[in-house]
Structure formats: C-alpha cells, structure tokens
C-alpha cells in the first residue's frame, strides 16, 4: 500500500472516531438533556443549620423530614435565567451550642463554598450563624426567633441605619406575642398580676425590655422574677416572689429543661394551683416538652408561629399545612410540630430568592434579592420592603392551648387554636380555658 493510500485510510479512521465521539456525546445529551444542562450551569449549594440534638432539639426534631421533602422536590434542579442548576443541601446540627453554630457556618462558607445560608430556631442558633455570614459576606435567610432578639441582640440601634448587609430574618416579634397574649387573656378573668419568668439570655432580655412595658401599659401588674441563668436548678426565690405577689398569670420564655424544673417546683411549692393562665413561649411550642410534665401540661397556653390550620401551602412541595403535619406523623410516628412550618418556609423562600436573583452564584445579587423578597410561604406573607426595621419581615402568630386529647387519639395532647386576631383566615377551634379549669 502506497503512502497516499495510507493517508486516506488514516483520514477515514480519524473521521470515524470523531464521528463516533460526537455521536456519543450528542446521544447522551439527547437522552438526558436536563442533566447535561445542569452540569453546564453547575451546582448551587444551600447551607442549612438548626439544632437537631441537645437541649433545643425539639426545634430541630422535624428537620430531617423537611429536608427529605425538599431534596425530592429539588431533584430535577431549578431553572434560573435559562440555565438549570443542580441543588445540594448541606445540613448541619448545632447540637444546641451557639459556638458550634458559628463554627459550622464558617466551615460551610469557607470550606464548602455554599451559595446561600438558611437557618432557623432560636437566638442560640440563628444569631451566631447570621453573625458569621455577615462577617464573611454570605447571604443568609433566617426564621423562627423574636426579631428584636435578632436585630437589636446583634448590635443594631433603634433609629439608626441597619448595620447588616447580608443577613435577613422573617419572623415574629414582641408585638405579635403581645397581641396574641392580650387576646387570649381577655377571655379569662384574673387579677392581672403577671409572673414574668425571663432568663438572662437574648430572648429573655429582649422580651423584658419590650414586652413587659407594653403589658404594664395595657393594665397588667408585672412581677419580674429576675434574670436567672440557663441551667438554673433551684427556682425557689422566683416561686416565693410570685406567690407573695398573688400572681395569677405566668408568662415566660424558658428553655425546655429550665421550665420543667421550674414548673415541677412550682407545683410542689403551691404556685401552680393558684395560676389561672400559664403562657409559655419557646418550651410551650412542642408536644414533647409539654408531655414530660404529665397532667401539669394540660391547658398551658402558647402563641403559635405556625399551626397546621394555617391556610397556606408550600410552593416547593404543594403541600397544605394539614398534609404536611399528617405526612410527618405517618413517617415519624410522632405528633406534628409547629416547627414544620418555618423549616419548610425557609426553603420555599430561599428557592424564590435564588430564582429572582437571576445570578444565584453572585453573592451580592442573592443578598439584593432577599432585600426585595415578596412571597407567600406556609407562615404567610413575607415582604422585606416594609419593615418594621431593615432586614426584617414580620410574620404573625395565633393563640393556642395544649388540651387533653379526645378519647381514641393516639397522642396525649391536642394543640388547638384559641384566637386569631392577627389573621382571621386561621380557623379558631375553641375559646381558651383557665389553666386550673
């Protein structure tokens, strides 16, 4: 064979190889165009930090279930400005430790290179995560803690410009508690003397400076038990003070272990039977924290930041509140938790933010998208353009009460809506009853 013929054969061989390679690539692209597109656009990484173990674990108890639902919903990726991105959720457990929350946030930012941080549940989690994001220039969307504890607790000053550029919170505040509490308390005759059980922590100090004066202005006499430290084991001084002042209303924002200790001692020392209203935030939110009290837990009141009766759906999953709660009970065997709503809502809102940013891998574009976010989640409307302060979008609350479950129920307690002054679209199940009914 002459050299000319060799060149021809070589040319044909190259052409065949090139053709086969091109055909293979084209075939793959034709078979899975979404995958090819997603690979081209890249992967968006969402960090999610919450307390799933430790003293605050009741807040994160349902988060694994929510994350599974969100991962399934986002499995095909999300399309933004004509590009389809794969989405990866990197979830982390703070173990209820604020220092660990900060460390986890820094690792997600610096090592995992996330595109957006999501976080929820109490100042002990949300504040350190938000601070780490603010320092690093990482857009952060948070929920489920009093906004005053987040905004002022992190150094913002009333009447001054916001010091925050990257971090945002949609959640309730002291004003929401006030409206719900006053609405519930008006239904039960008392001497209007309020025993205030408030710790020396972000929640306690924020409520002490904002809500107690407002309650006094509304005609209630406040008996402040003083700033106790989390982990206190002897509440005798507070109990005796509340008894000597003949308080008929107990109001507090304690962590679960502290309230269990306090209230058992209050029962032993004769305070509990004198109370006509027991209004407990934080600990009073979850069935697991009320069940440990036994019969002492019946008729404890709370203000609910979410209830399965809320008439709003998840945009990501299409689930209603009742469907979400029922699905959780079936999957876990545990009673539904009001934390289901905020945890789902922060993912719903986070995806809206990424889509509206037009460039989800540009941190400044994502932060700007949060600052102008207007959407509806399972917690209701979110609107960062209207305050009450910069970087905060207020949500609403309804009054609720833990009552003995009806015969035949597989759970010991039922969590019923007792007032809806902030959103009449939430159905009221019954009027509140006195604690010692």
Q: Is residue 400 within 8 Å of residue 303, measured between CB atoms?
A: yes
CA distances from 416 to 105, 153, 263, 304 (A): 36, 32, 22, 10
Residue 25 within any structural domain of the chain: no
Taking residue 268's Cβ as centre, other Cβ atoms within 10 Å add up to 11
d(CA 153, CA 150): 5
Same domain, 271 and 298: yes
Strand ranges for 281-373 from DSSP E: 301-304
Same domain, 221 and 100: no
pLDDT of residue 219: 98
Look over the chain and give the mean of its residue pLDDT values, rounded to a whole number.
91
The parent domain of residue 82 ranges over 45-173+339-394
Residue 366 pLDDT more than 90?
A: yes
Taking residue 380's Cβ as centre, other Cβ atoms within 10 Å add up to 21
Kindly report, residue by residue over 53-77, the tens digit of the pLDDT.
998 999 999 999 999 999 999 999 9
Helix, strand or coil, per DSSP, at residue 278: strand
Same domain, 257 and 204: yes
Residue 216 belongs to what H/E stretch?
helix 202-217
Q: Is residue 198 within 8 Å of residue 420, measured between CB atoms?
A: no
Closest CA to 243 of 214, 211, 265: 265
Kindly report, residue by residue over 207-227, the tens digit of the pLDDT.
999 999 999 999 999 999 999
d(CA 314, CA 351): 11
* Torsion angle, alpha carbons of 40, 45, 46, 50, to 10: 150
Higher-pLDDT residue of 132 and 149 is: 132
Which of 15-24, 160-169, 254-263, 392-401 is predicted with the least confidence, judged by mean pLDDT? 15-24
Residue 385 within any structural domain of the chain: yes
Same domain, 291 and 357: no
Residue 436 within any structural domain of the chain: no
d(CA 278, CA 194): 10
Same domain, 282 and 414: yes
d(CA 142, CA 49): 10
Which of 200-204, 258-262, 321-325 is predicted with the least confidence, judged by mean pLDDT? 200-204
CATH number at residue 365: 3.40.50.2300
pLDDT of residue 182: 97
Kindly report, residue by residue over 36-52, the tens digit of the pLDDT.
443 457 999 999 999 99
Closest CA to 413 of 404, 421, 422, 426: 404
d(CA 384, CA 372): 6
Same domain, 145 and 184: no
Q: Which residue has the tokens 């509490």?
A: 181
Same domain, 280 and 135: no
Q: Is residue 396 within 8 Å of residue 172, measured between CB atoms?
A: yes
CA distances from 366 to 29, 35, 300 (A): 30, 24, 41
The 3-class SS string of 199-215 reads ECCHHHHHHHHHHHHHH
Residue 59 within any structural domain of the chain: yes
pLDDT of residue 40: 58
Residue 21 pLDDT more than 50?
A: no
Same domain, 152 and 287: no
Name the strands in the sheet holding 392-394, side by side, starting at the edge strand that comes first in the sequence.
Answer: 78-80, 83-93, 43-50, 116-120, 140-143, 167-171, 392-394
**Total domain count for the chain?**
2
Q: Is residue 228 within 8 Å of residue 238, measured between CB atoms?
A: yes
d(CA 219, CA 217): 5
Residues whose CB falls within 8 Å of the CB of residue 432, separated by 6 or more in sequence, listed in order:
184, 187, 188, 301, 399, 401, 418, 419
Closest CA to 401 of 91, 141, 163, 185: 185
pLDDT of residue 27: 42
Residue 410 within any structural domain of the chain: yes
pLDDT of residue 157: 95
Provide the pLDDT confidence category of residue 26 given band limits of 50, 70 and 90. Answer: very low
Taking residue 434's Cβ as centre, other Cβ atoms within 10 Å add up to 16
Q: Is residue 98 within 8 Å of residue 127, measured between CB atoms?
A: yes
Residue 50 belongs to what H/E stretch?
strand 43-50
Same domain, 279 and 402: yes
Residue 208 within any structural domain of the chain: yes
Same domain, 216 and 297: yes
């Amino acid at each position: 064979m002459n050299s000319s013929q060799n060149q021809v054969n070589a040319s044909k061989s190259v052409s065949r190889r090139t053709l086969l390679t091109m055909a293979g690539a084209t075939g793959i692209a034709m078979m899975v165009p979404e995958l090819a597109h997603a690979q081209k656009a890249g992967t968006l990484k969402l960090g999610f930090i919450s307390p799933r173990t430790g003293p605050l674990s009741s807040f994160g108890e349902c988060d694994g279930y929510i994350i599974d639902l969100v991962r399934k919903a986002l499995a095909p990726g999300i399309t933004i400005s004509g590009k389809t991105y794969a989405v990866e959720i990197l979830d982390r457990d703070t173990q209820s430790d604020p220092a660990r929350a900060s460390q986890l946030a820094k690792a997600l930012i610096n090592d995992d290179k996330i595109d957006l941080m999501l976080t929820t549940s109490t100042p002990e989690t949300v504040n350190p995560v938000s601070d780490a994001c603010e320092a690093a220039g990482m857009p952060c969307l948070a929920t489920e803690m009093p906004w005053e504890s987040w905004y002022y607790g992190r150094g913002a000053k009333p009447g001054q410009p916001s010091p925050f550029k990257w971090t945002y919170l949609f959640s309730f505040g002291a004003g929401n508690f006030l409206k719900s509490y006053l609405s519930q308390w008006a239904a039960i005759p008392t001497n209007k003397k309020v025993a205030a059980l408030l710790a020396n922590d972000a929640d306690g100090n924020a409520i002490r400076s904002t809500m107690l004066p407002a309650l006094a202005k509304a005609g209630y006499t406040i008996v402040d038990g003083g700033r106790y430290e989390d982990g206190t084991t002897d509440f005798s001084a507070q109990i005796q003070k509340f008894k000597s002042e003949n308080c008929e209303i107990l109001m507090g924002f304690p962590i679960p272990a502290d309230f269990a200790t306090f209230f058992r001692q209050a029962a032993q020392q004769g305070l509990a039977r004198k109370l006509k209203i027991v209004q407990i935030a934080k600990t009073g939110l979850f069935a697991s924290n009320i069940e440990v009290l036994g019969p002492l837990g019946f008729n404890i009141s709370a203000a609910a930041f979410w209830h399965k009766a809320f008439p709003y759906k998840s945009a990501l999953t299409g689930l209603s509140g009742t469907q979400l709660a029922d699905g959780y009970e079936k999957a876990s065997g545990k009673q539904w938790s009001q934390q289901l709503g905020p945890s789902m809502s922060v993912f719903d809102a986070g995806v809206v933010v990424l889509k509206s940013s037009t460039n989800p891998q540009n941190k400044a574009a994502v932060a700007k998208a949060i600052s102008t976010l207007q959407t509806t989640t399972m917690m209701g409307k979110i609107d960062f353009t209207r305050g009450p302060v910069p970087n905060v979008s207020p949500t609403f609350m309804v009054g609720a009460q833990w009552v003995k479950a009806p015969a035949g129920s597989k759970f010991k307690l039922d969590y019923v809506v007792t007032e809806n002054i902030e959103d009449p679209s939430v159905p009221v199940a019954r009027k509140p009853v006195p604690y010692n009914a």
